[in-house]
Structure 1
Amino acid sequence: MTCALCSVPVHTQFATPELVGAIVEGGLDPAEDPGWAGSGAGSPAEYARWAGHLCGMTCLRMALGADAPSLFALRDGALKYGAYTEDADGTIRGLVYAPFAEYVSEVYGREATVYRHLDVTGIPGLLDAGRTVLASVHYGIRHPERPAPGRGGHLVLVTARTADGAGVHFHNPSGTDAGTRAAVLPLAEFERFFAGRGVSLGSAEASETGAGPEA
């Protein structure tokens, strides 16, 4: 599926989009997802263990476009750069922004800039400069009609601003239906879930010409 407002494809971090709601809100074991092999995972167990952690890789896969590698191929590359780590007890940690930015730049030729402090009002300017933004939000953003449970912990890909600049279009890897996978919110609503950090990615065209982000 491709967003009607842009050329960025819409992907979910779980292989079968129709099952995302059952997995993230209904308690379905991801190992029961019949589409698991399409993710590039080596087994249902590996898929079930990792898929919930791969919102960042799903955002990268969307940003890379139609020719992007599989979700787990991207995960493998990120592991080599230290963008994900595993504790001795098996706990998965990441996405770690600095090595992720290095990975994206060196392997895919996309200039990446890490923002430890990013005001929500700065996002439209990055979009206008031809960049996409991996923004740290609370996963509760798929229910904007509810109070925000917190900020951060999940990544969405911000793809465009609204015509008046007062809102943003974004793709949510854990969206449970079409309207939450390719969503739009006013900046004030988006900010309720936004942690004020993220990573912006340059376009393929900008990388080829050597253009960086605007100051």
Structure 2
Amino acid sequence: MTCPACRLPVHTQFASPGLVGPIVEGGLDPADDPGWADSGADSPAEYARWAGHLCGVTCLRMALGAGAPPLFALRDGALKYGAYTEDTEGAIRGLVYAPFAEYVREVHGLEATVHRHLSTDEIVALLDEGRTVMASVHYGIRHPERPAPGRGGHLVLVTSRTPDGNGVHFHNPSGTTATTRAAELPLTDFERFFAGRGVSLAGDTRQGPQTGADPGA
């Protein structure tokens, strides 16, 4: 699926978009996703262990446009740079912004800037400069009609502003429906879920790459 407003593909961090809801809200084991191999994972077990952590590289995959590598190939690259880490007990940590930005610049040729303090007005300004913004939000943003449970912990790709400047279009890797995967919200609603940090990307994000959860560190 491609978003008409920005011409960037819409991807989910789980291989089967129709199963995102059952996985994230219905308790379905990701290992039961029949599309797991399309992600590039080596096994259903690896896919199930990692997919819930890969909102950040899913955003990158969308920003890279047509011809982007499979999700787990991007995961492997991010791991090499330290953008994801695993502790001695196997717990997965990340996305860590600074090494992620280095990975994006060096491997994929996009300009990547870490914003540890970012307002919604600054997001709009970055969009007007032609950048996309990976913004840290609460995953509850898929239900904007409900009170925000918190801020941060999940990444979405903000792709453009609305013509009146009062809202933004964004792609949500854990959106459960077409309208929450390629979504639009007024800034006042977006801000309720937004943690005030992120990573902005610039470069040719529509022609593919030049080569082959969220602490905000």
Category of TM-score, reference length = shorter chain: over 0.9
Q: Distance in 1 between matches of 2:106 and 2:7?
A: 23
Partner of 1:101: 101
Query: 1:133 offset after TM fit, Å?
Result: 0.2
Taking only the aligned residue pairs, the percentage that are identical comes to 80
Query: 1:203 offset after TM fit, Å?
Result: 2.1
Whether 2:58 is the aligned partner of 1:76: answer no
Partner of 1:92: 92
Task: Indicate conservation of the 8 Å contact 2:15/2:35, yes or no.
Answer: yes
* 3-state SS in 2 of match to 1:93: strand
Whether 2:34 is the aligned partner of 1:34: answer yes
Q: Distance in 2 between matches of 1:66 and 1:153?
A: 27
Partner of 1:54: 54
Partner of 1:121: 121
Structure 1 residue identity aligned to 2:69? P
Partner of 1:149: 149
Query: 1:169 offset after TM fit, Å?
Result: 0.1
Structure 1 residue identity aligned to 2:144? P
Partner of 1:170: 170
Higher relative contact order, structure no. (Cα contacts within 8 Å, ≥ 6 residues apart): 2
Partner of 2:2: 2
Q: Distance in 2 between matches of 1:16 and 1:184?
A: 22
Query: 1:181 offset after TM fit, Å?
Result: 0.1
* 3-state SS in 2 of match to 1:192: helix
Q: Distance in 2 between matches of 1:23 and 1:64?
A: 26
Q: Distance in 1 between matches of 2:165 and 2:122?
A: 11
* 3-state SS in 2 of match to 1:112: strand
Runs of at least 4 residues off by over 6 Å:
none
Gaps of 5+ in 2: 206-217
- TM-score, length-normalised on structure 1? 0.95
Q: Distance in 2 between matches of 1:14 and 1:93?
A: 18
Q: Distance in 2 between matches of 1:115 and 1:4?
A: 27
Q: Distance in 2 between matches of 1:99 and 1:5?
A: 30
Gaps of 5+ in 1: 206-215
Structure 1 residue identity aligned to 2:91? T
Q: Distance in 1 between matches of 2:6 and 2:168?
A: 12
- TM-score, length-normalised on structure 2? 0.94
Q: Distance in 2 between matches of 1:173 and 1:79?
A: 19
Structure 2 residue identity aligned to 1:26? G
Partner of 2:159: 159
Q: Distance in 2 between matches of 1:178 and 1:204?
A: 25
Task: Indicate conservation of the 8 Å contact 2:175/2:181, yes or no.
Answer: yes
Query: 1:84 offset after TM fit, Å?
Result: 0.2
Q: Distance in 2 between matches of 1:109 and 1:5?
A: 24
Query: 1:137 offset after TM fit, Å?
Result: 0.1
* 3-state SS in 1 of match to 2:48: helix
Task: Indicate conservation of the 8 Å contact 2:109/2:203, yes or no.
Answer: no
